[in-house]
Structure 1
Amino acid sequence: MTMHQTQTPAITGKAGFEELVPSRYALRVGDIDVLVVSDGVLPLPTETMSTNADPDARAAWFKDMFLGPDAFDWALNVLVVRSGEQTILVDAGLGGQFPGFPRAGQFPKRLEAAGIDLGSVTDIIITHMHMDHIGGLLVEEVKNRLRPDVRIHVAATEVEFWKSPDFSLTSMPAPVPEVLRSTAAEFIKQYQDNVRTFDDEYQVAPGVLAKLTGGHTPGHSVVYINSGGQRLTFAGDALFPVAFEHPDWHNGFEHDPEESVRVRVRLMQEAAASGELFVATHLPFPSVGRVAIEGEGFRWIAAFWDY
Structure 2
Amino acid sequence: MNQIVPYTQQETNMSLDNTSCPRKAGSEELVPSRYAVRIGEIDVLVISDGVLPLPTAMLAHNADPAVRAAWLNDMFLPPDAFDWSLNAVVVRSGEQIILLDAGLGLDPDLNLPRAGQLVKRLEAAGIDLGSVTDVVLTHMHMDHIGGLLVDGVKERLRPDLRIHVAAAEVEFWEAPDFSRVSMPSGFPDALRSTAKRFAEEYRSQLCQFDEEHEVAPGVIVTRTGGHTPGHSVIRLASGADRLTFAGDAVFTVGFDHPDWHNGFEHDPEEAARVRVRLLRELAATGELLVATHLPFPSVGRVAVDGDAFRWVPVFWDY
**TM-score band w.r.t. shorter chain:** over 0.9
Give distance in 1, aligned partners of 2:280 and 2:50. 29
1:62 aligns with 2:66: no
How far off is 1:13 after superposition? Answer: 4.3
Give distance in 2, aligned partners of 1:129 and 1:164. 13
Report the TM-score, using the length of structure 1 for normalisation: 0.97
Which of 259, 262, 273 is residue 248 of structure 1 equivalent to?
A: 259
Letter in 1 for 2:85: A
Give distance in 1, aligned partners of 2:152 and 2:113. 17
How many residues in Structure 1 have an aligned counterpart in Structure 2? 304
> What's the secondary structure of 1:140's corresponding residue?
coil
Give distance in 1, aligned partners of 2:119 and 2:17. 14
Identity of aligned pairs, percent?
Answer: 68
1:304 aligns with 2:304: no
Give 5+ residue unaligned stretches, structure 2. 8-14
Give 5+ residue unaligned stretches, structure 1. none
Give 1:228's aligned residue: 239
Letter in 2 for 1:143: K
Q: 1:190-219 CA distances to partner (integer Å, 9 max, x unpaired)?
A: 101111100001000000001000000000
Give 1:12's aligned residue: 16
Letter in 2 for 1:12: L
Contact 2:6 2:17 in 1 (8 A): no
Which of 189, 193, 218 is residue 204 of structure 2 equivalent to?
A: 193
> What's the secondary structure of 1:192's corresponding residue?
helix
Which of 165, 178, 191 is residue 167 of structure 1 equivalent to?
A: 178
Give distance in 1, aligned partners of 2:17 and 2:155. 22
1:49 aligns with 2:49: no
Which of 137, 140, 145 is residue 148 of structure 2 equivalent to?
A: 137
Give 2:282's aligned residue: 271
**Greater shift after overlay, 165-174 or 270-279?**
165-174
Letter in 2 for 1:79: V
Letter in 1 for 2:68: R
Contact 1:9 1:25 in 2 (8 A): no
How far off is 1:174 after superposition? Answer: 2.3
Letter in 2 for 1:149: D
1:149 aligns with 2:160: yes
> What's the secondary structure of 2:86's corresponding residue?
strand
Give 2:43's aligned residue: 33
Contact 2:47 2:87 in 1 (8 A): yes
Q: 1:70-129 CA distances to partner (integer Å, 9 max, x unpaired)?
A: 000000000000000000000011001243210001011111111110100000001000
> What's the secondary structure of 1:193's corresponding residue?
helix
Give 1:21's aligned residue: 31
> What's the secondary structure of 2:156's corresponding residue?
coil
**Runs of 4+ displaced beyond 3 Å:** none
> What's the secondary structure of 1:82's corresponding residue?
strand
Report the TM-score, using the length of structure 2 for normalisation: 0.94
Contact 1:36 1:79 in 2 (8 A): yes
Letter in 2 for 1:8: V
Letter in 1 for 2:16: T
Give distance in 2, aligned partners of 1:219 and 1:134. 14
1:182 aligns with 2:186: no
Contact 1:13 1:113 in 2 (8 A): no
Give distance in 1, aligned partners of 2:159 and 2:112. 29
Give 2:134's aligned residue: 123
How far off is 1:43 after superposition? Answer: 0.2
How far off is 1:145 after superposition? Answer: 1.2
Q: CA RMSD in A?
A: 1.0
Q: 1:200-246 CA distances to partner (integer Å, 9 max, x unpaired)?
A: 01000000001000000000000000001210000000011100000
Give distance in 2, aligned partners of 1:46 and 1:251. 10
> What's the secondary structure of 1:177's corresponding residue?
helix
1:217 aligns with 2:258: no
> What's the secondary structure of 1:62's corresponding residue?
helix
Give distance in 2, aligned partners of 1:248 and 1:78. 25
Give 2:11's aligned residue: none
> What's the secondary structure of 2:204's corresponding residue?
coil
